[in-house]
Amino acid sequence: MSFRLPALLAPLALAGAIIGLADSASAQSRIKDIAVVEGVRSNQLVGYGLVVGLNGTGDSLRNCPLTRQSLEGMMERQGVNIRGATANTKNVAAVMITAELPAFVTPGARIDVTVSTLCDAKSLLGGTVLVTALQGADGQVYAVAQGSVQTGAVSGSGASGSSVTRGVPTSGRIASGAVVERETGYDLGAQQTVRLTLRNPDFTTAQRVAGAVNQLYPNTAFAENGTVVALRPPPGVGMAGFIGRIENLPVQVDAPARVIIDEVNGVIVMGDAVRVSTVAIAQGNLTVSVQETPQVSQPEPFSRGGETVVVPQSSVTIEEDVGTQMRIVGGGTSLSTLVNGLNALGVSPRDMISILQAIKAAGALQADIEVM
């Protein structure tokens, strides 16, 4: 067998390891793609309910007291008292139901919900969620869910105990499974000012966003910091209309020089702003090969007390790559020059990670390194 020092995994495609960005002059994005309006967001909803109609794949009532109590409470509300009775059905499952309430949604609209088991149910295939109230973080009911669960999974088992499962049968969705009952109450039209929040904070980008808006509507935008740009619509223009007009304005996005390294998967991502000072690099690999040649030792014929044993024999050789010369990389050049210089060394992505870290330690890499 053989191994390399430093230890390397299977070679990775360099094209997949390094992502080059387009020319900064053409790297423009719409405001709506790099920023969000403060207060305009979705809200998380959650509720506890029961799924019925399962084909023997539900919770075991003996092992899941919460399912038994919920079933007894539900039947009492329907006028049937089963407390103290023996109920061994496995056609019911206790579930948690989650959903996202979009911004500006109105009562009567429908939203999708996700259903997940709580106890030992095997599958939700064919089940139906009974009426379940979905609450927000403030404890108010914002939607009511009910409908047939679609799992998109397949499972089966035999009498001998063998089974096969594809997907996750204990979790499913109900398309348009909840009816909205309450609005969030955020009135955008009544706001005198709104704030845009950049997804990737940067002072230069914030100033460019404010400049693009002010070029179309003078004195309506102000960059408060590297994250927030305050907006005030001009007279006679509503807030919704104002945001609709400016969100498609193109802005050149700026980003700091940064190198992202994923050592687990051997992935390197470098931004276009990465620069490297002049530096000389030499890289070589050391290969250690260990060959095992076991031999069998047997006792002489008719000997007493002897036994057959295996005698290990190992042959170790060490080889070091030669001919890899020092190469000059850098000089304040672009990302493509840095990548080409590293490629000229013929290194794998994992070796390149070590080289980049060494260049940073030498003070020649003008970028931040973030190791994941």
Rounded to two decimals, what is the model's pTM? Answer: 0.68
Tens-level pLDDT at each residue, the chain (372 residues): 433 433 333 333 333 343 343 344 446 899 999 999 988 889 999 999 999 999 888 898 888 888 888 888 888 888 888 776 777 788 999 999 999 999 889 999 999 999 999 999 989 998 999 999 999 999 999 999 999 999 877 666 666 666 677 778 899 999 999 999 998 888 888 888 999 999 999 999 999 999 999 999 999 999 999 999 999 999 988 898 999 999 999 999 988 888 888 877 778 888 778 887 777 766 665 555 556 567 777 777 766 666 777 766 656 565 655 545 555 555 665 666 667 766 766 667 777 778 788 878 878 778 888 887
Count CB neighbours of 45 within 10 A.
24
Residue 165 burial (10 A CB sphere; 0-12, 13-18, 19+): middle
Expressed in angstroms, the distance from the first to the final Cα of the chain is 31
| Cα–Cα distance for residue pair 167/173, rounded to 1 Å | 13
Nearest partner of 150 among 51, 46, 58, judged by Cα: 51
- The residues of the chain that CATH labels 3.30.1360 are 30-40+188-252
Q: What is the CATH number of domain 30-40+188-252?
A: 3.30.1360
Degrees to nearest 5, angle at CA 158 with 154 and 164: 35
